[in-house]
Amino acid sequence: MTFRTRFAPSPTGPLHLGHAYSAILAHDMARAAGGLFLLRIEDIDRDRSKPEWEALIPEDLTWLGLTWDEAPIRQSDRRDSYDAALDALWARGLLYPCSCTRRDIAEALTAPQEGAAPAIGPDGPVYPGTCRTKPRTGPRPRDAHLRLDIAAALAAIGPPAPHFTETGPDHAGTITTAPETYLGGIGDIVLARRDFGTSYHLSVVLDDAAQHITHVTRGADLFEATRIHVLLQRLLALSTPIYHHHRLIRDDAGKRLAKRDDARAIRLYRAEGATQEDIRRRIGI
Ligand code: GLU
């Protein structure tokens, strides 16, 4: 099986050193394995994605000395595939519409209740289930978020518990997620946002499958989300890649880099006459 990995930036700002690390690592792993390095533009957030940021991605990557082996895919071109998966999950009764706002959820969670503070999952506070009893019949609603009924999803896949192989520095080994973790620590996540018509979780799983990705290389901030991705792969009968969650690049104060930290943008290093070697040295490759 050919090793296939990818770099999947969102064009919502300039690529920074953290992106450079992720892209170079994935690229170098592919080259070392005699495999392929692919590019995907994750632009489901149409408000925050900008053509100028998208145009900068291949420029920055080329300047970093990276080459990719197939034409990049863009999430905004893949709506049909997201719709088909949502239709199938809806037909199986695994989704329900949710009209709760963040505030509704926060209020439901702070209502006096026995037990400890609300659990925080990969997407924030674990959803309290307010809309879980809404009807799941008729055409798939487009005017509400669609949540995955995680208990029904677990029942649909049956044993064994979802698992994946992790090769990154922090958790290397087989990572298994118990049903209780899904129920209590992740909950009914949003699979289709009303405004996007999909979600990061659904799109990334379908896109990795469409690009025949065998090895996912990405930041450690997405490690917990992988538990969701593996469950979705089982539900949708897709194979599970091997995962490598790498360390995050931090600034001198130890803070994780974000797109707003424009001072670290690759294009600025480029403009200042830095070299590829300078960047590799700066990020410790
Ligand atoms: N688009 C995500 C980001 O820019 C990466 C998602 C992934 O690699 O799965 O952070």
Segment 130-160, tens digit of pLDDT:
999 999 999 999 999 999 999 999 999 999 9
Q: Which of 171, 185, 169, 193 is nearest to 228 (CA)?
A: 185
| 44 CB within 6 A, ligand 1 | no
Report the C-alpha gap between 21 and 168 in whole angstroms: 14
Residue 130: closest CA among 94, 93, 103: 103
Residue 24, Cβ neighbours under 10 Å: how many?
20
Supply the pLDDT for residue 58: 98
CATH class as words, domain 79-244:
alpha beta
Ligand 1 binding pocket includes 204 (Cβ within 6 Å): yes
Q: Please name which of 125, 170, 119, 148 lies closest in space to residue 228, comparing C-alpha atoms.
A: 148
Q: Please name every residue paired with 245 in a beta bridge, in sequence order, or none if there are none.
A: 218
Instruction: From the CA of 42, give the closest atom in ligand 1.
Output: 1
Q: Give the atom of ligand 1 at the shortest distance from the alpha carbon of 6.
A: 8
User: What is the homologous superfamily of the domain 1-77+250-285 according to CATH?
Assistant: HUPs (3.40.50.620)
Contact 248, 256 (CB under 8 A): yes
Q: List pLDDT tens digits, range 214-253.
A: 999 999 999 999 999 999 999 999 999 999 999 999 887 7
- Is the pTM higher than 0.75? yes
Q: What's the 200 CA to ligand 1 centre distance in angstroms? A: 8
Q: Which atom of ligand 1 lies nearest, measured to the CA of 225?
A: 9
What would the mean pLDDT of 34-58 be, rounded to a whole number? 97
Residues of the chain with CATH 3.40.50.620: 1-77+250-285, 79-244
In the numeric block, which tokens belong to residue 247?
């360390």
